Amino acid sequence: MPKSFWMVVNNPANFQIARKRGFDLVGLQAHHRRKVQRMEPDDRVLIYISQKRCFAATATVTTSMIEDHSPIWEPE
């Protein structure tokens, strides 16, 4: 059973990148850092697409936060 539920906002381009990767990684802006640091395995995440104004997916957190600056994501 999930411990906590979280909502994160993403843009359509980065949502599609995450979707193609099977949501093994979800890119978020730096101001979400504190929220993401509090996420734990088995928590649930609801992904909202800002420009489309819709909830597009849910996911289960499998690991703690990973910070990576590889150029995977589209600039926001």
pLDDT per residue as tens digits for the range 3-20: 899 999 988 998 999 899
More confident residue, 75 or 67: 67
pTM: 0.78
Q: How far apart are CA 69 and CA 72, in angstroms?
A: 8
Collapse the DSSP code of 25 into the 3-class scheme (helix H, G, I; strand E, B; otherwise coil) and give the result: coil
**Closest by Cα among 67, 74, 75 to 20:** 74
pLDDT per residue as tens digits for the range 24-71: 888 777 788 888 889 999 999 999 998 899 999 999 999 888 877 777
The amino acid at 51: Q
Half-sphere exposure of residue 62, counting CA atoms within 13 Å on the CB side? 7
Half-sphere exposure of residue 53, counting CA atoms within 13 Å on the CB side? 0
Q: Domain extents for the chain?
A: 5-60
